[in-house]
């Protein structure tokens, strides 16, 4: 997907805010074929787990200060930086919006976009949706060029403008032909928390100047991925 023409196609904004969106191809990429990687792991958010009863209170001896059972939760925030240590990726994240029914991608292939209608990084529910160009005919590989090299268990870190860090662990990767669009559940505003990364991939069509597939990587907070 090129920065000149490439944008993620979605349904109108009202429906996009409900988590219904599709992705189509556009723009000229590097004139080369990229291998189609194997798929693995989850493609949808896991079902919501039933709430469990709180533990019984613990009686402490008088005069001894009590300690909090768990550390204070880290507040969610707008993604500002994406790091994937295993791939040596460090990319600035900027908000992107829906314009005329199309979800934009940052013009600079070195940057990653965060769909501003999706969940905040570290949110306890919903999908944090990031997208980006795989490469550019003008500047070469983009920030997500090596997304197909992700493996289950690889760590991703999102940093907010306040410096708060939120970690995610890769749980899956899927390839979706652009002719069929993307499943609406990828953009779910509710359900268990997860991170969704989207870019282009697969064979390159020189006639249309675009890749034929969408590469989507999934990640979950460490405590979710371990269950």
- Choose among 158, 205, 182, 216: nearest CA to 2: 205
CATH code 1.10.645.10 for 8-39+77-225? no
Is 80 or 4 the better-scoring residue by pLDDT? 80
What is the pLDDT averaged over residues 171-190?
A: 89
Cβ 168 vs Cβ 219: under 8 Å? yes
- Choose among 21, 31, 24, 22: nearest CA to 6: 24
* Dihedral, 12, 185, 141, 80 alpha carbons, nearest 10: 80
pLDDT of residue 160: 97
Q: Which of 23-27, 151-155, 161-165 has the lowest mean pLDDT?
A: 23-27
Residue 226 has pLDDT above 70, yes or no: no
Tokens at residue 180, please? 């069929």
pLDDT of residue 82: 98
Cβ 187 vs Cβ 118: under 8 Å? yes
- Sign of the four-CA dihedral 147, 152, 154, 158: positive
Distance CA 4, CA 83 (A): 25
Radius of gyration for the chain, computed over Cα atoms and rounded to the nearest angstrom = 19
Task: Tell me how far CA of residue 54 lies from CA of 50, 51, 76, 219, in angstroms.
Answer: 13, 9, 24, 28
Phi, psi of 219 (to 5 degrees): -145, 155
User: Per-domain residue ranges for the chain?
Assistant: 8-39+77-225
At 114-142, the pLDDT tens digits run 999 999 999 999 999 999 999 888 888 89
Rounded mean pLDDT of the chain? 75
At 12-56, the pLDDT tens digits run 333 333 333 333 333 333 334 444 556 666 544 444 433 333 333
Phi, psi of 210 (to 5 degrees): -150, 160
């Amino acid at each position: 997907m090129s920065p000149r023409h490439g944008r993620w196609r979605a349904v109108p904004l009202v429906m996009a805010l409900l988590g219904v969106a599709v992705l189509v191809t556009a723009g000229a990429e590097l004139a080369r074929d990229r291998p189609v990687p194997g798929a693995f792991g989850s493609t949808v958010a896991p079902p919501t787990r039933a709430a469990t009863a709180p533990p019984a209170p613990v009686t402490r001896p008088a005069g001894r200060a009590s300690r909090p059972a768990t550390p204070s939760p880290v507040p969610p925030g707008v993604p500002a930086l994406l790091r994937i240590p295993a791939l040596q990726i460090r990319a600035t994240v900027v908000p992107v919006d829906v314009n005329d029914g199309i979800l934009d991608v940052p013009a600079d292939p070195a940057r990653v976009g965060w769909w501003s209608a999706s969940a905040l990084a570290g949110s306890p529910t919903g999908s944090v949706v990031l997208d980006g160009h795989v490469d550019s005919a003008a500047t070469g590989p983009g920030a997500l060029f090596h997304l197909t090299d992700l493996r289950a268990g690889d760590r991703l870190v999102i940093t907010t403008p306040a410096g708060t860090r939120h970690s995610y662990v890769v749980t899956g990767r899927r390839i979706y032909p652009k002719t069929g669009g993307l499943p609406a559940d990828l953009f779910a505003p509710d359900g268990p928390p997860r991170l969704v990364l989207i870019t282009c991939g697969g064979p390159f069509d020189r006639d249309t100047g675009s890749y034929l597939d969408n590469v989507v990587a999934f990640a979950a907070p460490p405590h979710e991925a371990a269950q």
